[in-house]
C-alpha cells in the first residue's frame, strides 16, 4: 500500500541549525505547520533533484520542487491552512515580507558565506571537505564562481560589501518593526511568511561562523528572540 507520509528531500542537517538552506528550513516549517506526517531524506547533490535544487517533496509518485510550490501543493492538494487567520491586507503584507526575505535578504546571506574571503574556507570545508583531493578543491572553486555569477545576475553582487550589508540592515529594520512585541510577524500565530523569515534569520543568527550577518542580527534582540521562539516551537527535539 502507498504511504500517506510525505518525504522532504533536503540537504544534510546540522547540530547548529535545522538546515543550512533557508528554503529547506522554510519547507520543513510549512510541513510542521500543516500537521501532516513527513519524513526526511538527505540529498547532498542537488543536481540529482527535479529542478537541480532543493528542497523538494515526494508524495507517492509525485515530486514537488521549490519551497514556494511545496507551499502551494500543501494548500491546494493537502488542505493546509497557513494564512486564513490574516485579513486580505495582512495576507498581501505577508507576501511582500516573504519576497523581501527570499529575494534580497537571502542573497546577502549567500554573499556573506560564499564571497567574503574570511568566511569562505569554513563554507568550503563544510560543503566540499569530504571530497577527495583534488576533486573537492576543483569543485569548490567552480561552485564559488557560479555563486558569484548568480549574485551578479541577481544584481546584489554588483554592490560593495558595505552596500550589501546596508541593504540587509534595512530589511532587518523592517522585520523588527513589523514584529514589534508580537510572537510572530502578524500576531501570536505564525503564518507562511514566518516560515520564510525564520528560514533566513535562523541561518543568519546560528551559522557555523561569526559572520557579518551574525554580528548584524545580534544587534536586534527582538529578532534573536524570534529565532529562539521558532526553534522552541518547531525544532525543540
Q: Which residues pair with 1 in a beta bridge?
A: none
CATH number of the domain that residue 221 is part of: 1.20.1050.10
pLDDT tens digits along 199-224: 999 999 997 777 889 999 999 999 99
63 and 102: one domain? no
> Of 28-37, 47-56, 150-159, which range is least confident?
47-56
DSSP state of 233: H
pLDDT tens digits along 72-113: 999 999 999 999 999 999 999 999 999 999 999 999 999 999
**pTM of the full predicted structure?**
0.93
pLDDT band, residue 2 (cuts 50/70/90): very low
157 and 210: one domain? yes
Q: Which of 33, 77, 79, 38 is nearest to 55 (CA)?
A: 38
Q: How far apart are CA 217 and CA 168, in angstroms?
A: 10
36 and 72: one domain? yes
CB 196 within 8 A of CB 188: no
- 1 within some domain: no
Domain that holds residue 39: 6-76
Q: Which of 19, 51, 76 is the last residue of a domain?
A: 76
Number of domains present in the structure of the chain:
2
Q: How far apart are CA 104 and CA 233, in angstroms?
A: 26
- Contacts (Cβ under 8 Å, ≥6 apart) of 78: 34, 36
Residue 234 has pLDDT above 60, yes or no: yes
184 and 140: one domain? yes
Q: Which of 76, 105, 137 is the last residue of a domain?
A: 76
Averaged confidence pLDDT in the chain: 93
pLDDT band, residue 52 (cuts 50/70/90): confident
What is the strand order of the sheet 56-59 is part of? 38-42, 6-10, 56-59, 62-65
CATH number of the domain that residue 33 is part of: 3.40.30.10
Amino acid at each position: 500500500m502507498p504511504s500517506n507520509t510525505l518525504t522532504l528531500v533536503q540537504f544534510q542537517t546540522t547540530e547548529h541549525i535545522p538546515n543550512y538552506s533557508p528554503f529547506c528550513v522554510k519547507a520543513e516549517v510549512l510541513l510542521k505547520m500543516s500537521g501532516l506526517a513527513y519524513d526526511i531524506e538527505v540529498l547532498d547533490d542537488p543536481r540529482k533533484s527535479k529542478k537541480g535544487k532543493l528542497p523538494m517533496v515526494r508524495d507517492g509518485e509525485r515530486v514537488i520542487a521549490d519551497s514556494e510550490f511545496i507551499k502551494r501543493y500543501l494548500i491546494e492538494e493537502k488542505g493546509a491552512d497557513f494564512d486564513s487567520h490574516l485579513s486580505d491586507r495582512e495576507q498581501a503584507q505577508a507576501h511582500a515580507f516573504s519576497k523581501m526575505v527570499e529575494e534580497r535578504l537571502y542573497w546577502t546571506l549567500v554573499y556573506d558565506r560564499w564571497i567574503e574571503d574570511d568566511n569562505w574556507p569554513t563554507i568550503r570545508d563544510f560543503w566540499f571537505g569530504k571530497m577527495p583531493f583534488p576533486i573537492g578543491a576543483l569543485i569548490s572553486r567552480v561552485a564559488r564562481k557560479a555563486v558569484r555569477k548568480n549574485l551578479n545576475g541577481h544584481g546584489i553582487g554588483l554592490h560593495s560589501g558595505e552596500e550589501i550589508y546596508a541593504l540587509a540592515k534595512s530589511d532587518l529594520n523592517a522585520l523588527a518593526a513589523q514584529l514589534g512585541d508580537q510572537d510572530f510577524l502578524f500576531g501570536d500565530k505564525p503564518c507562511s511568511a514566518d516560515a520564510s523569515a525564520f528560514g533566513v534569520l535562523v541561518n543568519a543568527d546560528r551559522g557555523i561562523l561569526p559572520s557579518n550577518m551574525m554580528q548584524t542580527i545580534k544587534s536586534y534582540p527582538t529578532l534573536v528572540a524570534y529565532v529562539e521562539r521558532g526553534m522552541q516551537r518547531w525544532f525543540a527535539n
